[in-house]
Amino acid sequence: MTGVTLRRAGDVALRRSPAQAVFTRRAARRLAVLAYHGVDDPGQFARQLDHVVRHAAPVSLDAVLAALSGGPPLPPHAVLVTFDDGFRSVLDAGLPLLRERGVPAVAFVLPGLLDTRQPFWWTEATLLHDAGARAAGTPTTSAAALVGWLKTVPDTRRVEVVEELRAAAPGVDTSMGQLSRQELAILLEGGVAIGNHTWTHPCLDRCDTAEVTRQVVDAHDTIREVLGHPPRAFAYPNGNHDLRAEGLLGELGYEAAFLFDHRLAQAPGPASDRLRISRLRVGTETSLDRFATILSGLHPAVHHARGGR
């Protein structure tokens, strides 16, 4: 059996296990915040949304924020759909599917990339590495190893390395279409709230304090300018929580901030840690068997028991 076949068999077995029923009952009292990126498989994403509509209760960001402030509690098996980074596919492929089913969502965007063809920095590093570009003192075994390493070094070093890679492969086209400012309004009108994901997505815990401030505040101000109101929610890039950023978010009036820790969130209420809300990692290609065990919290429990972060 191949690795993929084994994983699929494992997902089927986990979903059919007695533990799934136990975890599903427990999850009724929690909030499942699904953390997607792009919509790479629209057909499977549609099936996932259908599963949510049939077996759970999709809720809006407004409903979550109201519950955090002591308003009406969320229904059992509440699910909030979120997207990180602002991939164009969320607008082109995801929005029609969400609207057809009446499922609200949140898109955490990078205002520094709006109206450009500038790639995400990790996409650029991957394309340059795959084209043969190398930088001194960096991993060379794979693009994934390089990107993983870049997330651990001081942010100034990350910027230097990407510049070195560009210089080593000047003819490589790394451009990609990004959302425009006007398209944020289309998402908003379609039921997708807009949140702050920093200016250009550095790992904030690898930035100096001045850069943390610039990344959070410049993004905040631009979203407010584009939409006519400030964003109410934030997602930490790469899920890397940072106390300096959390302090800024409090000063700016943010009502929620989200991690990327592959855990169910507690039921929102006035006592919640509203600037450290857990989210579940999922992709539009995720099988329905795994998707069901992610929603129940069983897959995250197994993942963390095996040492996953």
pLDDT digits (tens, 9 = 90+) for 82-109: 999 999 999 999 999 999 999 999 999 9
With a cut of 70, say whether residue 1 has pLDDT above it: no
With a cut of 90, say whether residue 7 has pLDDT above it: no
The span from the CA of 121 to the CA of 174, in Å, is 10
Phi then psi for 111, rounded to 5 degrees? -60, -25
Q: Which pLDDT belongs to residue 308?
A: 84
The span from the CA of 166 to the CA of 292, in Å, is 42
Q: Which pLDDT belongs to residue 5?
A: 79
The span from the CA of 78 to the CA of 28, in Å, is 7
The span from the CA of 298 to the CA of 294, in Å, is 6
- Banded model confidence at residue 294, pLDDT cuts 50, 70, 90: very high
The span from the CA of 14 to the CA of 133, in Å, is 42
Q: Which pLDDT belongs to residue 181?
A: 97
The span from the CA of 262 to the CA of 238, in Å, is 12
The span from the CA of 81 to the CA of 104, in Å, is 7
Q: Which pLDDT belongs to residue 10?
A: 86
pTM of the model: 0.96
Phi then psi for 70, rounded to 5 degrees? 95, 10
Query: Could you tell me how far CA 300 lies from the centroid of its own chain?
Result: 16
Domain boundaries, the chain: 3-118+176-254+274-305, 121-168
pLDDT digits (tens, 9 = 90+) for 185-214: 999 999 999 999 999 999 999 999 999 999
| Two tokens, residue 239 | 């899920």
Q: Which pLDDT belongs to residue 56?
A: 98
Q: Which pLDDT belongs to residue 216?
A: 98
pLDDT digits (tens, 9 = 90+) for 150-193: 999 999 999 999 999 999 999 999 999 999 999 999 999 999 99
Instruction: Give me Rg for the CA atoms of the chain.
Output: 20
Range 51-68 average pLDDT = 98
With a cut of 70, say whether residue 135 has pLDDT above it: yes
What sign does the dihedral 217-222-223-227 (CA atoms) show? positive
pLDDT digits (tens, 9 = 90+) for 212-254: 999 999 999 999 999 999 999 999 999 999 999 999 999 999 9
How many Å from the N-terminal Cα to the C-terminal Cα in the chain? 27
Q: Which pLDDT belongs to residue 228?
A: 97
Domain 3-118+176-254+274-305: give its CATH architecture: Alpha-Beta Barrel (3.20)
